Amino acid sequence: MSKNPDKLDVMAYLERINYKGRCEPNIDCLHQLHAAHLTSVPFENLSIHCGEDIVLDLPLVYDKVVRRHRGGFCYELNKLFAWLLEQLGFSVILISASVYGPPGHHMLLLVTLSSGRRVLVDVGIGCGFRLPIFLENGITDAQVNGTFRLRLDSGKWVMEQLNFIGLDSDYIFEEIYGFDLTEKCWRDFSAMSIFQQVSPTTLCCCKSYCSMHLPDGAITYMGRRIISTIYENGKARKTTRQIPEEEIPVFLKDTFGFTLTNKLVPKDEPVQLPPASTPVLS
């Protein structure tokens, strides 16, 4: 059963993400909130691998993230962040993106500022942009963790990231996800949320992971691996080490600040090819 929605506390949320700036519905505040969230709240799916159901219920997600210091996946984190932005006076809607497969694999946010300019917001993906990006065709945004580009292709928006291949002069923009601007309700993602938790065609089901941005990099737990990332001149330098299963709970506590209630079953299996038909937004 849901906890009382009246118990959701904006100040406790701001404290959780270590935000101490001014709270005004403008682009500067949005930038600071976005970066604070990504460097404080991990993108993680460990509930799936601890025998816990992920339920799209705002008070439950608030309790998980704010009170229990956990993270979550896109349907949890972006909805919770949308609630915070609304409380601070921002105009925000939920939209659907396709990372691979049908629409609804990913949820992100679209914020409209008082000037009328629209901004893409996403605190629910492990490898995404650090700062919000204005929704403008052809815009390129060089950030700490990479260079991102938005383009409009036959009525659909595409978010891309620059990746170097070989020499510094050799690079390509690779798609992160595609999306349109149709407003969605949270319940529209219910079927896909369940699918993500149980289908071997999804990353969430096949791999236990927890990842968080750092000021100059990122730290990721996956299965029995720890991946450390350092960003230098727009490039990512990664190192990987193995971790014994018995050390994982201590690592999660020391690195991400939480202790799991149930036993984690580490998983790091290949993602299977999707079937001919997969759930779509309801």
Per residue in 126-179, pLDDT (tens digit) is 889 999 999 999 999 999 999 999 999 999 999 999 987 766 667 899 999 999
Q: Would you state the pLDDT for residue 7? A: 78
Instruction: Collapse the DSSP code of 157 into the 3-class scheme (helix H, G, I; strand E, B; otherwise coil) and give the result.
Output: strand
pTM of the model: 0.93
Binned at pLDDT 50, 70 and 90, residue 99 comes out as confident
Q: Indicate the residue type of 43.
A: F
Q: Please report the sign of the dihedral spanned by the C-alpha atoms of residue 25, residue 151, residue 282, residue 271.
A: negative
Averaged pLDDT, 47-74? 97
279 pLDDT more than 90: no
Element (H, E) at 12: helix 10-16
Q: Would you state the pLDDT for residue 3? A: 45
Averaged pLDDT, 191-215? 95
4 pLDDT more than 90: no
Q: Would you state the pLDDT for residue 44? A: 98
Q: Would you state the pLDDT for residue 138? A: 97
Q: Tell me the average pLDDT of the chain.
A: 92
Instruction: Collapse the DSSP code of 144 into the 3-class scheme (helix H, G, I; strand E, B; otherwise coil) and give the result.
Output: coil
Enumerate the domain spans of the chain.
11-202
Q: Would you state the pLDDT for residue 1? A: 35
Closest CA to 219 of 148, 270, 145, 282: 145
Dist CA 137 CA 140 (whole Å): 9
* Residues annotated as part of the active site: 74, 106, 122
212 versus 105: which is more confidently predicted?
Answer: 212
Dist CA 82 CA 109 (whole Å): 7
Q: Would you state the pLDDT for residue 234? A: 73
Q: Would you state the pLDDT for residue 166? A: 63
1 versus 178: which is more confidently predicted?
Answer: 178
Task: Give percent of the chain with pLDDT exceeding 90.
Answer: 85
Q: Would you state the pLDDT for residue 282? A: 41
The domain 11-202: what is its CATH number?
Answer: 3.30.2140.20
97 versus 233: which is more confidently predicted?
Answer: 97
Neighbours of 276 (CB within 10 A): 4
CB 123 within 8 A of CB 207: no
Per mean pLDDT, which range of 11-25, 71-85, 230-244, 246-260 is the poorest?
Answer: 230-244
